[in-house]
Amino acid sequence: MSATITAVDAPDSARPASGSPLRRLIRPGAAALAGVLLFLSFPPRPLWWLAVPAFALLGWCLHGRRPRHAFGLGYLAGLGFLLPLLSWTGEEVGPVPWIALAAVEALFIAFAAVGIALVTRLPLWPVFGAAGWILGEAARARVPFGGFPWGKIAFGQADGLFLPLAAVGGTPVLGFAVVLTGFGLYETVRRVLAYRSTGELPRGPLAAALLAVLVPVTAAFAALPLVDGSAEDGTATVAAIQGNVPRLGLDFNAQRRAVLDNHARRTEQLAADVKAGKEPQPDFVLWPENSSDLDPYRNADARLVIDEAVKAIGVPVVVGAVLSPDTGKLRNTLIEWDPERGPVDTYDKRHVQPFGEYIPMRSVVRLFSSDVDRVSRDFGPGDEVGVFDLAGTKVGLVTCYEAAFDDMARDTVTEGAQLISVPSNNATFGRSEMTYQQLAMSRVRAVEHSRSVVVPVTSGVSAVIMPDGKVVRKTAMFTPDALVAEVPLRSSLTPATRLGVWPEIALLLVAAGGLGQVAAGAVRARRERSAG
């Protein structure tokens, strides 16, 4: 039985070229618009649902396109998405590093678009295409320089319908569901329009297209029981300190003592509020990353300031410090500080930020920006999972940038963490959207692992997040504050936590299967032409 190719199904090579230059811009413009819609779906805007029409529009742009056309369209979509999303990276260093980063990261979307365009010739292309998008995200999260997962579709869904799927298979499954729904929506519309023009309604393909929309939505509702905010191991009263910084920008740490004093002072004020009955006594206190850029092991004044603040509050405090050994690299370290014994445990940040905490290819990068020399001594990564026992509560430690990487939070939970802390420092990025994007990541991690997440930040937004992803307390930006909240402690593991990387591997195999079918079909067609 031979298949009839309609005008809707025909690849772009079979379609007549448009004579109007304006019409030739429609598809590139639509691709860029799809990227902009993806950007608008991310926080601080609660427009998560825009991701679905964005992928429907992208599906229309890529369906049946040749690889080189798909690459260009995908690159335009990537720029439309990532240029505004990552604008905070140029907040203090100018547009060149920002544009360069977005341009490089958009290449991953361009290559994913080529794969998506190729599989659109397959019967179940929305499934293969959505898996292809996840393949692109997986690559972007790993290379180069350890990867840059910022902008995963899952991170725009903290307020969305699909969020419960994070507990099923983590960010890959959550992102896959969103992309599949968008592609399924386009395929449904495409089939209906084909019926209106030909009068033929292929029920099987239409049913498959509708299922691509309905199955992810149904699965999200089915996963709701996994989103549980109840206390399994009792509760803990936690305090998050936001001391604020003396000034914004890259030079915020030029007054390192002022930053430390701000956090010590706000902790001592909390101690006074507790004594006056204005706030409950916390079981432990969390300071942000870089709250002491003075090494307390080498600087007696810094050690004294911290020690006095910790003794004032009378409970363990986690202090974010920069350690500067005599030789070797700096360490971005979290220190457990006991009111009686002083520093008793440390965690060194494992995933340090390229071009922020260390400079790869320094001599080359210097050609584009002299700001690289502000990082005069590189930070080195730690190699141990961070879980502190704070007054009987096991707290997993995920320092700032690490929250973007799937394995960082998961490792702490599998090591017994009942609660996750994400101490961060966003002062470098001013009043940009960066802090809201990062907060959304922590909300997704809360649901993914069914853990309360506390986010202490030097300059905001600090927050307390429940295991269901809801924010119950948060601060304003660049305002000294202390958040005190009672949070549930949990020890059970979600399917996402148990499965780890396997859902992502499964989706990568689906993508590979689709591309394999395309390659096999091309080989058969070549043989048939040769035989003829």
**Host H or E run for residue 335:** strand 331-338
Q: Is-contact 130 176, C-beta < 8 A?
A: yes
- Picking from 289, 371, 381, the residue whose alpha carbon sits closest to that of residue 329 is 381
Judge whether 61 counts as a catalytic residue. Answer: no
Q: Which of 417, 421, 360, 352 is nearest to 389 (CA)?
A: 417
The yes-or-no answer on residue 504 being catalytic is: no
Given the residues 400, 433, 474, 504, select the one marked as catalytic.
400
Chain centre distance of CA 228: 22
For this structure, is 105 an active site residue?
A: no
Burial class (CB in 10 A: 0-12, 13-18, 19+), 364: exposed
Catalytic pick among 152, 349, 394, 474: 349
Q: Which of 91, 92, 289, 357 is catalytic?
A: 289
d(CA 177, CA 161): 10
Binning the chain into helix, strand and coil, the percentages to the nearest 5 are: 55, 15, 35
The candidate with the shortest Cα–Cα distance to 151, out of 163, 165, 136, is: 136
d(CA 361, CA 372): 10
Nearest to 291, CA basis, from 283, 301, 302, 282: 302
The answer to whether 293 and 256 have CB atoms below 8 angstroms apart is yes
The structure tokens listed for 526 are 């070549």
Paired sense of beta strands 481-488 and 471-474, if any = unpaired
Active centre residues (catalytic): 289, 349, 400
